[in-house]
A and B are shown apart, each in its own frame.
Chain A
Amino acid sequence: MGKEFLGEFEELVLTMVGVLGEDAYGNAIVTEIKDRVGRDVNLSAVHVTLYRLEDKGLVKSHMGGATNARGGRRKRIFTITNAGLAMLRAMKEARMDLWKLIPQLKIAGG
């Protein structure tokens, strides 16, 4: 993926966008991270990261439909792009390659 690299938090958010599919918006991502990884993250940090990912072309966003909840405000729904998926995949593979290079613990004995 050229020179583009993702930070750890960016990767986490990007992954969550992929996980949540059509339901990925700021609050949902915060809740999801809390539930799955057990990490308290700040809403504003998630938003800023999402916008940055959008700038990089890894996610795209559109406004969802109006609801009665949220004071009638629409959600900004993020979806992962092909570039985003490719990036995630590339990162995962690169990590796996590296992982394989770590000397594995051999079971002693016969």
Chain B
Amino acid sequence: MSNDTEHTTSTPTAWLRVLEWFCPAYLYEGIEGDLLEQYDEDRATVGNKTANRRLRWNVIRFFRPGILLRNRFSIRLIKGYMLLNYFKIMIRSMAKRKVYSAINIFGLTMGISFALLIGIFIAGELQTNQQLTSVDRLYLMRSNNLEAANQVPLFSPSPLARLIKEEYPTLVENFYRCSDRNITISKDDKHFRVQSLIGDSTFLSMFGFPLLHGNVGTALNEPRSIVVTAKIARQYFDRTDVVGEMLTLATEKNGNQQYTVTGVLEDWKPNTVTNLRDMNAQVFLPIHSLKDFNGFDPEAWTGVQMISYIRKTPVASEDAIIEAFTSLLKNKAPANAQSNLKMAIDGLDDYHLVSDNGLKKKLVMTLSIIAIFILLLAVINFINITIGNSNVRLKEIGVRKAIGGIREQVTTQFLSESLVMTFVATALSLGLYELLRTYAGNIVGTSLLSVIEFPVSYWLFIGVVMLATGIAAGIYPAFFLASYKTLESLKGKLKAGKGNIALSRSLISIQFLLAIGVFTAAIIITQQVSYFLEKDLGYDKSMVLTVSSVPRDWTPEGFNRMDAAKLQFQQVPSVQSVSLSWDIPNGNFGVVAELYRQGKQPEEGVGMPILMADEDYRDTYQFNMLAGTFFQPKGQVQQPDDMVINESAQKALQVQVGDKVQLKGVPIAFRVVGVMKDFNFFSLHQQVKPLVFMNTRNNLFPAFRYFSFRLQPGNIAQSVEDVEQRWKEVFPNDPFEYAFMDQNLEKLYKTEIQMKKAAGFATVLMLLIVLLGVLGLASQSVTRRTREIGIRKVLGASVSNVLVLIAREFIWLITVALLVAIPLTYYFVEQWLSAFAYRIDLQWWMFVLPGILVFTIVLLVVSGQSLKAALSNPVESLRIE
């Protein structure tokens, strides 16, 4: 540019570029010229080096407000009146094509509503336990016994938690130990069985449970004090400020006792402490109450097991705590208590999600994936319909561009359209959410927050999802439409866009794929759940009524009273047989022990559950015996050392009827009197395992919890009423809390049943969205080919020819989707099913049926759309110009 090569070679142009960057363009040349002139002069007089320095310094000095503020900040803002115009045009074009607009908004609303329901559910699940005071430092202790399975991991030797706090104050700050008990609590004529926790006085302060009434520090200090939830307070007193009131508790060791209410808890969201294993504890007793119920000393080592929580100090590491446990067990515990015991701790902050092999986590993940799928489906519909419809808007775009609209403006216009649509859909979704939340809450087994109760963070999240959906739905059509050349768009002709049709097709194939996949999964989950509920378990579960509110008086008098009660119940005509037991086949069991045949070494013992029942148990549940009898025949004197074992136990112990069996660490020997055929006493997630029955009147641990009634076939409601009537006469002070065996079993498969319902719901929703998409696409393709159809008809095509013409492209797409869906779904459901010991076999129809169904429905919709075109007079369609 310059002839004056003298300085262009050596000028520090970098500095001038800095100047150019902050200096307003219209001033730049004059300033730069002055600087260069000065620079040349300086070089002549004071030399290059100084000249350079002076130039730099001068440039820096130009960085001043007098120069900077002369910049005209030119950000291209889209003017308000343009936005108003966009909005107006949008409303007009939506009104012009009502069906498509409705499909778009409806689809988006469906997708967002479902995502919202699932999102709120997941948020609730993730927040479980988060209200507990410093939950990141709370741990549940777990004990593993390396040698035998006789340790229930949830229960730990009770002195451990206290000892670690006392011996290692730098590691552990606080502890809470508890024992769960189901207690009959009475006030005047109100009797209810209430789940309780008996434990340390640290309960309130350690977890930060807020009290409505009462003193957090002292509420659980005094013996025979009781803290109740607001729900229980209302149940007994119809109000919540009940501190000082008395409640009567039916204790197991000391008969009826008066307890004083010392605190009322706010009703709290489910958390791992009060709702461990879904126990839903409602009343809390001080540790002294162990004397009234369990009858053990929490500071003794042997035989005492409690659920134990600890809170570590901020500096302690988990490893250090486990080491401390190991050395405590070694140094403080008596030799027989510490054998092979190894402690572990599970953090409470994610316990809810990861316990039970991450069952909840799996549910949360599955649901999130389904929600994303459904949202994706809606977004795909939106993209397909917008692109398919774009020829209508092309002229508008052409005009906009011709009169000076720039590309970014067109992009903004279409993006803002999709954002507005998403906004409307979100608003509708919130309404729909409010309508559906009770129903959906029932499916997943929690209550979902009302929209009014959403915290700010939820709204932020909803905002983010809304923006993301709007942008995802709008970005491709926006850029695609804006990129059209002005002239072409003015002509209003959509380029024979192979790319677009390919995109639309692959998007709709993805829709088919997802819909067929979820449909198949739903069928298989449903099949597995019905298999769970209908499989022959080896006993007859129908018509069995179980009552859990049996007064727990385990003294000989208590047993005699139960015998009398049984006779009373036998007289009810609709009762076929009645049995008293500690266990019912609902997946729970109380005692595990190691057994070995008499004469063998205790070390050869095999761990197995010990169940307790009376001699009528077999008549009530109707399982088969391989050999011997189920205890002594009815009417004869029962022997406390009789034992009945199942087939697996017989194999494991290698015993016959008449052999003697010993429990590890117990001096009494038991005599095998019968061998049962294996049956599924526990959940079908596991194989049948060895188990043994002791008589409820054994000498080791005589106890009972349940009455089981086998009812005569007939009017069940009447039968239940008869039993209840008799119950009230026999046990006037105890509630009648019953469940049918089928219901108990359903609880066992709760998560699977939830999944089944959610998958069914999702399938319906997805099919609906896919149908909407197909409807939109089919009618577009019919419109696009109106003339083609006309010509074909003129040339002699029949109506069915035309139908095939339109349907062909969808048939092809579904076939492709089905071919991809089958192996994918197969892989995932196989993974899911492999977790169950008893599972259905996958059959070909489970994969083909969804395909055929989707196929048929799509075909119907497409035919409906194309029939109109096929039937119309070709003269009409050809006249359109």
Q: Which of chain A's residues have a CB closer than 8 A to the CB of B30?
A: 25-26, 47, 61, 63, 73-76
A44 on the B face (CB < 8 A):
yes
Q: Are A47 and B2 CB-contacts (below 8 A) given A73-B29, A73-B36? A: no
Asked if A43 and B61 make an inter-chain contact with CB atoms under 8 angstroms apart, the answer reads yes
A72 to B32, CA, bound (A): 10
Chain B residue at smallest Cβ distance from A52: B66
Asked if B34 and A25 make an inter-chain contact with CB atoms under 8 angstroms apart, the answer reads yes
Asked if B29 and A26 make an inter-chain contact with CB atoms under 8 angstroms apart, the answer reads no
A34 smallest CB distance to B (angstroms):
12
B276 smallest CB distance to A (angstroms):
75
Asked if B67 and A73 make an inter-chain contact with CB atoms under 8 angstroms apart, the answer reads no
Asked if A42 and B33 make an inter-chain contact with CB atoms under 8 angstroms apart, the answer reads no
Q: Which of chain A's residues have a CB closer than 8 A to the CB of B27?
A: 47, 51, 76
Q: Are A42 and B1 CB-contacts (below 8 A) given A26-B30, A47-B34, A74-B29? A: no
Q: Which of chain B's residues have a CB closer than 8 A to the CB of A74?
A: 29-30, 33
Asked if B40 and A69 make an inter-chain contact with CB atoms under 8 angstroms apart, the answer reads yes
Q: Are A51 and B33 CB-contacts (below 8 A) given A43-B58, A69-B4, A71-B7? A: no
Q: Which of chain A's residues have a CB closer than 8 A to the CB of B29?
A: 63, 73-74, 76
Asked if A47 and B67 make an inter-chain contact with CB atoms under 8 angstroms apart, the answer reads yes
Contact of B58 among A25, A44, A73, A76 (CB under 8 A): A44
Query: What is the interface size of chain B, counting residues whose CB is below 8 A from a CB of the partner?
Result: 26
**B2, B31, B34, B61: most-surrounded residue (chain A CB, <10 A):** B34
B8 on the A face (CB < 8 A):
yes
B37 on the A face (CB < 8 A):
yes
B649 smallest CB distance to A (angstroms):
98
A47 to B64, CA, bound (A): 11
B357 on the A face (CB < 8 A):
no
Q: Which of chain A's residues have a CB closer than 8 A to the CB of B31?
A: 26, 47, 76
Q: Which of chain B's residues have a CB closer than 8 A to the CB of A75?
A: 30, 33-34
Chain A residue at smallest Cβ distance from B31: A47
Q: Are A48 and B64 CB-contacts (below 8 A) given A70-B36, A73-B33, A75-B30? A: yes
Q: Which of chain A's residues have a CB closer than 8 A to the CB of B7?
A: 71
Contact of B34 among A26, A45, A61, A68 (CB under 8 A): A26
Asked if B4 and A68 make an inter-chain contact with CB atoms under 8 angstroms apart, the answer reads yes
Q: Which of chain A's residues have a CB closer than 8 A to the CB of B34?
A: 25-27, 43, 47, 70, 75
Q: Are A71 and B8 CB-contacts (below 8 A) given A47-B34, A76-B30? A: yes
Asked if A70 and B37 make an inter-chain contact with CB atoms under 8 angstroms apart, the answer reads yes
A66 smallest CB distance to B (angstroms):
10
Asked if A73 and B32 make an inter-chain contact with CB atoms under 8 angstroms apart, the answer reads yes
For chains A and B in complex, what number of residue pairs have CB atoms within 8 angstroms?
81
Q: Which of A18-76 contact B (CB under 8 A)?
A: 25-27, 30, 42-45, 47-48, 51-52, 61, 63, 68-76
A72 smallest CB distance to B (angstroms):
4
B64 smallest CB distance to A (angstroms):
6
User: Per DSSP, are chain B's interface residues mostly helix, strand or loop, or mixed?
Assistant: helix
B35 on the A face (CB < 8 A):
yes
B1 smallest CB distance to A (angstroms):
6
Q: Are A51 and B66 CB-contacts (below 8 A) given A70-B37, A73-B32, A74-B30? A: yes
A74 to B37, CA, bound (A): 11
**B7, B29, B30, B58: most-surrounded residue (chain A CB, <10 A):** B30
Chain B residue at smallest Cβ distance from A76: B30
B70 on the A face (CB < 8 A):
yes
A35 smallest CB distance to B (angstroms):
14
Asked if A71 and B11 make an inter-chain contact with CB atoms under 8 angstroms apart, the answer reads yes
A1 to B37, CA, bound (A): 36
B261 smallest CB distance to A (angstroms):
81
A47 to B67, CA, bound (A): 9
Contact of A44 among B32, B37, B40, B67 (CB under 8 A): B67
Q: Which of chain B's residues have a CB closer than 8 A to the CB of A51?
A: 27, 66, 70
Chain A residue at smallest Cβ distance from B38: A27
Q: Which of A48-107 contact B (CB under 8 A)?
A: 48, 51-52, 61, 63, 68-76
Chain A residue at smallest Cβ distance from B11: A71
A68 to B2, CA, bound (A): 7
A19 to B671, CA, bound (A): 129
A61 smallest CB distance to B (angstroms):
8
A-contact 0/1 string along B9-48, CB 8 Å cutoff: 0010000000000000001011111111110100000000
Chain A residue at smallest Cβ distance from B28: A73
Q: Which of chain B's residues have a CB closer than 8 A to the CB of A43?
A: 34-35, 38, 58, 61-62
Q: Which of chain A's residues have a CB closer than 8 A to the CB of B32?
A: 71, 73
Q: Which of chain B's residues have a CB closer than 8 A to the CB of A27?
A: 34, 37-38
A69 to B4, CA, bound (A): 7
Q: Which of chain B's residues have a CB closer than 8 A to the CB of A25?
A: 30, 34
B397 smallest CB distance to A (angstroms):
41
B718 on the A face (CB < 8 A):
no
Q: Are A71 and B67 CB-contacts (below 8 A) given A26-B31, A43-B34? A: no
B27 smallest CB distance to A (angstroms):
7
A86 to B3, CA, bound (A): 42
Q: Are A42 and B61 CB-contacts (below 8 A) given A27-B38, A47-B31? A: yes
A104 to B464, CA, bound (A): 81
Asked if B33 and A44 make an inter-chain contact with CB atoms under 8 angstroms apart, the answer reads no
A39 to B27, CA, bound (A): 25
Chain A residue at smallest Cβ distance from B63: A44
Chain A residue at smallest Cβ distance from B60: A44
Q: Which of chain A's residues have a CB closer than 8 A to the CB of B64?
A: 44, 48
Q: Which of B439-481 contact A (CB under 8 A)?
A: none
Asked if B58 and A71 make an inter-chain contact with CB atoms under 8 angstroms apart, the answer reads no
Chain B residue at smallest Cβ distance from A49: B66
A109 to B3, CA, bound (A): 72
Q: Which of chain A's residues have a CB closer than 8 A to the CB of B1?
A: 71-72
Chain A residue at smallest Cβ distance from B8: A71
A33 to B67, CA, bound (A): 22
A52 to B65, CA, bound (A): 12
Chain B residue at smallest Cβ distance from A46: B34
A-contact 0/1 string along B63-75, CB 8 Å cutoff: 0101100100000
A16 smallest CB distance to B (angstroms):
14
A45 to B63, CA, bound (A): 11
Q: Are A44 and B62 CB-contacts (below 8 A) given A63-B29, A69-B40? A: yes
A30 to B41, CA, bound (A): 13
Q: Which of B60-98 contact A (CB under 8 A)?
A: 61-62, 64, 66-67, 70
Chain A interface residues toward B at CB < 8 A: 25-27, 30, 42-45, 47-48, 51-52, 61, 63, 68-76
A43-B35, A45-B61 given. 6 additional CB < 8 A pairs? A25-B34, A51-B66, A68-B3, A74-B29, A74-B30, A75-B34
Task: List, sorted by A's number, 22 A–B pairs whose CB atoms are closer than 8 Å.
Answer: A25-B30, A26-B34, A43-B35, A44-B66, A44-B67, A47-B30, A47-B67, A48-B64, A48-B66, A63-B29, A70-B33, A70-B36, A71-B8, A71-B11, A71-B32, A72-B1, A72-B2, A72-B3, A73-B30, A74-B29, A74-B30, A76-B30
Give the 4 A-B CB pairs with smallest separation, nearest first. A73-B33, A76-B30, A48-B66, A26-B34
